[in-house]
Amino acid sequence: MNLDLTHKNAIVCGSTQGLGKASAVELALLGANITLVARNETSLQNTLLDLDTSKGQQHQYFVADFAKPDELKAAVEAYLAQNPTVHILVNNTGGPAGGAILDAKLEEFTQAFSNHLLCNHILVQACVPSMKANGFGRIINIISTSVKQPINGLGVSNTTRGAVASWAKTLANEVGAFGITVNNVLPGYTKTARLDFVVKARAKMAETSTEQMEKIFQSDIPAGRFGEAEEFGAAVAFLCSPAAAYINGVNLPVDGGRLSCL
């Protein structure tokens, strides 16, 4: 099986923590040169130190805030002017706040679509020409299991994630002939700071312990445990590899079997 990403250049967004960082780490282990993207420069500099360089990989970063699409566009264009070859793009940014869809304000939808769909589109339009020229491209969107099964209490997120999934499937159909694949990876309950926050918040609402709430969460998972961030990152890295060249336009849950739908 060919998992070698030596000499491949990857841009990984939201890559200073959680699932984005795990994806960057795993891609580097397969030999890719990583460009980290996030809004905190100190965190970006620290994350560089965690990336493998045993195959001669050269890693770098650029600063961008997905809440400001125009600035993101300028940042990626400036980056590409100096680094024109991109083989892999991992789109990832934090999700919208929770809440019932009936309670959502219009500006919450506008901001969520901007942060996710519009920023993904900006990055894709910037990177696809290079992928076409090289006859190799991997676009991964880290989104949510809600594209298969909406999650109660996440009205804005469910709506936005579903739009991103449809956008990605349309894109996959358009670029597949150029050796470019577009896939969505859907995280389940994975050990990250975000999950820790959610568990503690739910425990406080239910007036129970964090340990008990973790057991409640895990009771819905056939695997009987939370996922490790590196397990999620490994799925992303595999889809970026030459071995996954014929996997295109899919929504891949990495959730220990939690989804009840097919």
Tens-digit pLDDT profile for residues 98-133: 889 999 999 999 999 999 999 999 999 999 999 999
The residues of the chain that CATH labels 3.40.50.720 are 9-189+228-254
CA within 13 Å, CB half, 151? 23
In the predicted model, what is the mean pLDDT of the chain? 96
**The pLDDT value given to residue 152:** 86
**The pLDDT value given to residue 207:** 94
Whole-model pTM? Answer: 0.96
**Smallest Cα–Cα separation from 61: which of 26, 102, 95, 20?**
20
CA 178 distance to own-chain centroid = 22
Q: Please tell me the total number of residues recorded for the chain in this structure.
A: 262
Planar angle of CA 89, 166, 242, nearest 5 degrees: 35
Judged against a pLDDT cut of 90, whether residue 239 lies above it is answered with yes
Give the largest Cα separation in the chain, rounded: 57
Residues 6+ apart with CB under 8 A from 17: 43, 192, 193
Arithmetic mean of pLDDT, 42-64: 98
**Smallest Cα–Cα separation from 9: which of 82, 107, 93, 118?**
82
pLDDT confidence band for 201 (50 / 70 / 90): confident
Planar angle of CA 128, 182, 171, nearest 5 degrees: 70
**Smallest Cα–Cα separation from 36: which of 3, 68, 11?**
11
Specify the 3-state DSSP secondary structure of 91: strand
Q: Per CATH, the architecture of 9-189+228-254 is what?
A: 3-Layer(aba) Sandwich (3.40)
Residues 6+ apart with CB under 8 A from 106: none
**The pLDDT value given to residue 197:** 83
Residues 6+ apart with CB under 8 A from 248: 172, 176, 181, 182, 183
| 96 within 8 A of 160, measured Cβ to Cβ | yes
Rounded alpha-carbon distances, angstroms, from residue 113 to 76, 146, 158, 163, 177: 19, 15, 11, 8, 28
